[in-house]
Amino acid sequence: MSGNIKSIVEDLVRPFLDDNGFELVDIEYVKEGSNWFLRVYVDKDGGIDIDDCGRISEYLSAKLDEKDPIPTAYFLEVSSPGAERPLKKPRDFERAVGKHVYLTTYEPVDGQKEFEGVLTAYDGETATVRAGKKEHVLPVAKIAGARLAIVM
């Protein structure tokens, strides 16, 4: 059911986002404790601010009230994906080339399942991460999770 709700929410919010120059980064519909949360992560060139989040939230809330696709009570949250933005779509990986990333894989590659370093290349089939002097070429099909990483 969660996947269906995410698809419905995407269909409802995408026209507004596209018309206003926003990018849909991710949608989560999760239960935490006894509460359900619908989280919509958006971004735009130059970043989003609280006013942007408020406008998107108002629009989406009205659409959700009109269509009523979610049978349970939930909290709607609209926010930026943050500094450690997830990399989910090919475009996310393409824009992350040259940046510090953290990736995990479903099974070991080069004897490990966690990789942190600079994403030096992405071609849709593989992502190359340079950690120190070693480069790891990871098949995209084996990547379980990926995000930008803050270097401390």
What Rg do the C-alpha atoms of the chain give, in angstroms?
A: 17
Instruction: Count how many Cα atoms sit within 13 Å of the Cα of residue 62 in the half-sphere of its side chain.
Output: 6
Q: Which residue has the higher pLDDT, 82 or 142?
A: 142
Q: What is the pLDDT of residue 47?
A: 85
Name the DSSP letter for residue 86.
B
Output phi, psi for 23, to 5 deg: -115, 130
Written as one letter, the residue type at 33 is: G
> What domains are defined for the chain?
2-79 (3.30.300.70), 90-148 (2.30.30.180)
Asked whether the predicted pLDDT for residue 1 surpasses 60, the reply is: no
Tens digits of residue pLDDT in 97-135 = 999 999 999 999 989 999 999 999 999 999 999 988 999
CB atoms within 10 A of CB 145: 13
Question: DSSP alpha helices (H): ranges in 20-115?
Answer: 50-67, 90-96
Q: What is the SS3 assignment for 87?
A: coil
| Structure confidence by residue, pLDDT tens digits, 13-26 | 999 999 999 999 88
38-72 per-position pLDDT tens digit: 999 999 888 899 999 999 999 999 999 998 888 88
User: What is the pLDDT at residue 59?
Assistant: 96
For strands 75-79 and 126-131, give the pairing: unpaired
pLDDT over threshold 90, residue 3: no
List beta partners, residue 26.
Answer: 41
What's the rounded mean pLDDT across residues 67-82? Answer: 90
Residues 6+ apart with CB under 8 A from 121: 97, 127, 128
Which one-letter DSSP state was computed for residue 92? H
pLDDT at residue 134 in the model: 92
